[in-house]
Amino acid sequence: MKTMWAPWRMDYILSDKEEGCIFCKALSEQDELTLFRGKVTMVMMNKYPYINGHLLVAPIRHLATLDQLSKDEMGDLLLTVEQSVGILKKVMNPDGFNVGLNLGKVAGAGVEEHLHFHIVPRWFGDTNALTVFADVRVIPEHLKVTYNNLKPCFEQLVL
């Protein structure tokens, strides 16, 4: 049997969970995982991704549900999701994407108080039984490398 080590997971498992909203915190200070801050939306990398390039797109306003968004915010949010998918296609060349919202704790929302989309790039063969049997994900590229590859493209976004 081979052993695969994912020591970065222990930081998350053993750490005290952050107080407050990660999105609002990222907006109020310099956050090393924030790729884009617009007038209405923001894009940040998931600190504990399912796979490389896992992005979070959120409105700037602290909202929990879709019906709290104005029509302009909703349009801007979806446009930012679309442009983020385009950047991931260009930079990472995935075979597809999972894009979605988890609304409420029961639906899997880790940050249920601030609405956000997950964008998860997918490649053929990127999943296997390791996650199911060992609760381990293999992330082949360090977060900072992915960030440095994506950041120049997000700097060109105009919303």
pLDDT per residue as tens digits for the range 21-72: 888 888 888 778 999 999 999 999 998 888 889 999 999 999 999 999 999 9
CB atoms within 10 A of CB 115: 24
SS3 label, residue 4: coil
**For the chain, domain boundaries:** 21-154
Global model pTM greater than 0.85: no
Q: Is 116 a residue of the active site?
A: yes
Q: Helices 143-154 and 71-92 sit at what angle, rounded to 10 degrees?
A: 120
In terms of CATH, what superfamily is 21-154?
HIT-like (3.30.428.10)
60 and 18 in contact (C-beta within 8 Å)? Answer: no
Share of the chain above pLDDT 90, in %: 45
Catalytic position from the list 54, 114, 116, 118: 116
42 and 60 in contact (C-beta within 8 Å)? Answer: yes
SS3 label, residue 11: helix
